[in-house]
Amino acid sequence: MCTGDGADHVTVVLLDLTDPLSATQASRLGTMLDREIATSADDTMMSFGIVSDDDSEWGARFARCKPPTGADANELYENPRLIAERYREEFEAPLEATLFEMIRASEADRSPIMEALQALIAETPDFISTPGERKIMIVSDMLQHSDTLSAYRDQGWEHFEASGQSSRLAGNLENADVRIIRIPRQTNADVAISEDFWVRYFDKQGSNLPSVTVLGDL
């Protein structure tokens, strides 16, 4: 659905809802996602995926360029109503349906955040080749929990390097803007170790320093 040869910008959204959100958190997250979509430029590739303990669920569950909404159409040579209908039928409605299915099916026992993120990026068209902005949004408690690394076993960057797993990093986030929407959890995991790991992870991957917003409900 891109109007040119590819996307002008790319926004990747990874939802880690392996633990359910409260009603307040879900409402606030919906508002954040609506705002992100509404403020994205036309021809931005919008790609969405989830964290799951089933790797067949990884990857881009929805990936389409955002078409014009019709709001800025020139009525002298464009039909705003037809443009708006196309936006609704070919982009907005399928995205809403996909998000509903993703959220409903995302509860899991493990949180392989690293693995799901890379699978999503690999299946996002134009992520590497876009000439414009590359943005990554991660909605998560950021407590990695997989065979590779687990915050629940107090495993941090030192463990990751000592195990040789750091050699697997793709290094494909060069200059990407990362926004973390962190879900606060009551947990026995060492949050400080987890936070240090992610700072080092994104630095090694080449992204800009992540910004963090807390998805609180109080």
Token readout for 162 is 């000592």
Nearest to 96 by CA among 88, 86, 108: 88
Asked if residues 180 and 32 have their Cβ atoms less than 8 Å apart, the reply is: no
pLDDT score recorded for residue 4: 79
Whether pLDDT at 80 is above 90: no
Instruction: List the chain domain ranges.
Output: 9-214
Among 22-36, 63-77, 108-122, which stretch is predicted with the lowest mean pLDDT?
A: 63-77
- To the nearest whole number, what is the mean pLDDT of the chain? 91
Q: Strand, helix or coil at 111? A: strand
- How does residue 154 score in pLDDT terms, banded at 50, 70 and 90? very high
pLDDT score recorded for residue 19: 84
Q: How many other C-beta atoms are found inside a 10 Å radius of the C-beta of residue 98?
A: 17
- How does residue 104 score in pLDDT terms, banded at 50, 70 and 90? confident
Token readout for 137 is 């949004």
pLDDT, one tens digit per residue, over 175-214 is 999 999 999 988 877 888 999 999 999 999 999 999 999 9
Return the CATH number of 9-214, one of 3.30.70, 3.40.50, 2.50.20, 1.10.3470: 3.40.50
Whether pLDDT at 77 is above 70: no
Whether pLDDT at 118 is above 70: yes
Packed helices 93-104 and 23-39: angle between N→C axes, nearest 10 degrees: 150
Say whether pTM exceeds 0.85: yes
